[in-house]
């Protein structure tokens, strides 16, 4: 192939992944190293979780740019698919990435129902998969696999931290309000376990179908529940609406609202005064000081013009994890055993603070207690230190 046409082909491939960053990359000498490595990014780019998907994708591309567009010595092309947070469309979206697009590694997704199609394909076909958000516990419990890693959290982890912190404050009875799907159910379990660890109890779980936002019938029931506090799992557009409706219903002063940190993460500006004072628990927050976080936040702001949030951190770390795995195999994405061993042995230099993964491939991480103040989720303490998901039922093949 003549040099010029190879060059313009690469330019096209990189353009999609990196936007304006192609000029620097093309100056790199090693353009002839192996075939382009396609990584499938299956994320929500529309619907209630659209901003979450965009943050993950932008931060993934940011780390790839730091690697001059390569992983394991191979030029990477990112192929994006909008999964719409729709579980019904998940199998065909995965098939599209692995079939027509010939992706050799997968990154996705946000929604706990949708991620199951990715986990199934990664297990059956031994394709490397990094989950940059979805907390579905099965992915790192019963359905754990050498090929599947998470850069994020299990649904149980932040909610467990919140329950534990609430019980430590003296709360005795609490309720959980959430969407009726895996993330809602599993976060309720974590919250209940956390409360029980401190002698308190979860007395009621109220749900509505995902991604509905008609919260009024649920809010009307809360004062009658005789609880001391209300915890919740909502995220993205739904979280904005819930926090506003909770305040508008006049509940803020009667029943303190708390939750998994997603309730106020990346959405504080839109929630405005309604979010002031809400305490949440998460593996990230404002006020975490380390050089990696400072550099990451500045670089992310420069490329996106947005402030980094936990979703961006998870996208960035997904890229770090995949790059560590592929470096160990010189870009051979089919050498799953070696990729797996490299990620298991690694200390990931995350903006949240360095972490390792548990035996079932989920981050072991501190869950911070945060309070929303003046547009920030300020860290005010530790909810649960170095917390690992129990990993129940995981048997690595
Ligand atoms: C999930 O479905 O697992 C999920 C979605 C959004 C979040 C957190 C968890 O912010």
Mean pLDDT by 10 residues, the chain (397 residues): 34 35 38 77 98 98 98 98 98 98 98 98 98 98 98 98 98 98 98 98 98 98 98 98 98 96 97 98 97 98 98 99 98 98 98 98 98 97 98 94
User: Which ligand 1 atom minimizes the distance to the CA of 311?
Assistant: 10
Cα Rg of the chain (Å, integer): 21
For tokens 């109220």, the residue is 206
For residue 31, count other CB atoms closer than 10 A to its CB.
14
Measure the CA–CA gap between 53 and 114, rounded to whole angstroms.
13
Domain ranges of the chain: 6-153+289-361, 156-282
Measure the CA–CA gap between 142 and 244, rounded to whole angstroms.
37
- Please name which of 308, 118, 140, 110 lies closest in space to residue 211, comparing C-alpha atoms: 110
61 contact partners, CB below 8 Å, separation of at least 6: 17, 18, 19, 78, 303
Which sign does the torsion angle of CA 297, 302, 307, 311 carry?
A: negative
Ligand 1, CB within 6 Å, residue ranges: 49, 110-112, 133-136, 155, 183, 235, 262
* Residue 381 pLDDT: 98
* Residue 12 pLDDT: 34
Residue 99, helix vs strand vs coil: coil
- Per-residue pLDDT tens for 351-383? 999 999 999 999 999 999 999 999 999 999 999
Ligand 1 centroid – CA 357 distance (Å) = 19
CATH superfamily of 156-282: Response regulator (3.40.50.2300)
Report the alpha-carbon angle 259-249-165, nearest 5: 20
- DSSP E strands in 105-197: the ranges are 105-107, 129-131, 148-150, 173-179
Ligand 1 centroid – CA 311 distance (Å) = 10
User: Which ligand 1 atom minimizes the distance to the CA of 111?
Assistant: 2
Would you say the CATH fold of 156-282 matches that of 6-153+289-361? yes
Ligand 1 centroid – CA 110 distance (Å) = 6
Q: Are 380 and 370 in contact (CB under 8 A)?
A: yes
Measure the CA–CA gap between 128 and 200, rounded to whole angstroms.
41
Ligand 1 pocket: which of 85, 113, 155 to mutate (most atoms within 8 A of CB): 155
Whose alpha carbon is nearest atom 7 of ligand 1? 235
Measure the CA–CA gap between 297 and 364, rounded to whole angstroms.
22
Q: Are 180 and 208 in contact (CB under 8 A)?
A: yes
Cα 191–chain centre separation: 19
User: Which ligand 1 atom minimizes the distance to the CA of 262?
Assistant: 10
* Residue 31 pLDDT: 37
Which sign does the torsion angle of CA 14, 16, 18, 22 carry?
A: positive
Ligand 1 centroid – CA 83 distance (Å) = 14
For tokens 């809602």, the residue is 184
Ligand 1 centroid – CA 52 distance (Å) = 9
Ligand 1 centroid – CA 136 distance (Å) = 8
6-153+289-361 adopts what CATH topology?
A: Rossmann fold (3.40.50)
Ligand 1 centroid – CA 388 distance (Å) = 18
Ligand 1 centroid – CA 85 distance (Å) = 10
Q: Residue 52 — φ and ψ, nearest 5°?
A: -70, -45
Q: Are 46 and 81 in contact (CB under 8 A)?
A: no
User: Which ligand 1 atom minimizes the distance to the CA of 49?
Assistant: 6
| Residue 229, both tokens | 């506090």
| Residue 31, both tokens | 């353009």
Q: Are 148 and 131 in contact (CB under 8 A)?
A: yes
pTM: 0.92
* Residue 261 pLDDT: 98
* Residue 397 pLDDT: 75
Ligand 1 pocket: which of 112, 138, 152 to mutate (most atoms within 8 A of CB): 112
Measure the CA–CA gap between 6 and 104, rounded to whole angstroms.
21
């Amino acid at each position: 192939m003549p040099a010029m046409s190879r060059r313009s082909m690469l330019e096209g491939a990189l353009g999609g992944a990196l936007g304006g960053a192609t000029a620097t990359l093309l100056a790199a000498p090693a353009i002839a190293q192996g075939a382009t490595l396609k990584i499938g990014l299956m994320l929500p780019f529309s619907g209630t979780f659209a901003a979450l998907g965009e943050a993950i994708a932008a931060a993934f591309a940011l780390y790839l740019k730091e690697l001059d567009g390569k992983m394991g010595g191979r030029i990477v092309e990112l192929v994006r698919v909008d999964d719409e947070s729709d579980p019904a469309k998940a199998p065909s979206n995965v098939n599209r990435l692995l079939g027509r697009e010939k992706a050799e590694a997968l990154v996705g997704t946000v929604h706990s129902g949708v991620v199951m199609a990715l986990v199934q394909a990664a297990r059956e076909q031994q394709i490397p998969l990094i989950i940059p958000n979805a907390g579905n516990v099965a992915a790192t419990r019963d359905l754990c696999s050498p090929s599947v890693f998470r850069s994020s959290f299990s649904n149980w982890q932040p909610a467990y931290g919140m329950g534990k912190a609430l019980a430590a404050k003296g709360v005795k009875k609490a309720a959980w309000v959430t969407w009726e799907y895996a993330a809602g159910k599993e976060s309720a379990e974590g919250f209940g376990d956390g409360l029980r660890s401190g002698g308190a109890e979860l007395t009621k779980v109220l749900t509505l179908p995902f991604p509905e936002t008609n919260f009024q019938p649920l809010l009307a029931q809360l004062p009658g529940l005789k609880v001391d506090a209300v915890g919740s799992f909502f995220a993205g557009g739904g979280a904005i609406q819930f926090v506003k409706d909770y305040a508008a219903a006049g509940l803020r002063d009667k029943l303190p609202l708390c939750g998994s940190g997603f309730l106020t993460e990346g959405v504080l500006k839109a929630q405005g005064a309604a979010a002031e004072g809400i305490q949440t628990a998460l593996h990230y927050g404002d006020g975490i000081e380390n050089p990696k976080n400072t550099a990451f936040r500045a670089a992310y702001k420069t490329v996106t013009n947005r402030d980094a949030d936990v979703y961006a951190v998870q996208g960035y770390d997904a890229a770090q994890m995949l790059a560590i795995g592929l470096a160990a195999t010189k870009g051979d994405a089919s050498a799953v055993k070696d990729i797996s061993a490299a990620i298991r042995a690694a200390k990931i230099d995350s903006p949240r603070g360095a972490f390792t993964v548990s035996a079932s491939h989920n981050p072991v991480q501190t869950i911070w207690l945060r309070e929303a103040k003046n547009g920030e989720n300020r860290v005010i303490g530790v909810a649960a230190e170095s917390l690992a998901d129990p990993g129940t039922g995981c048997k690595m093949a």
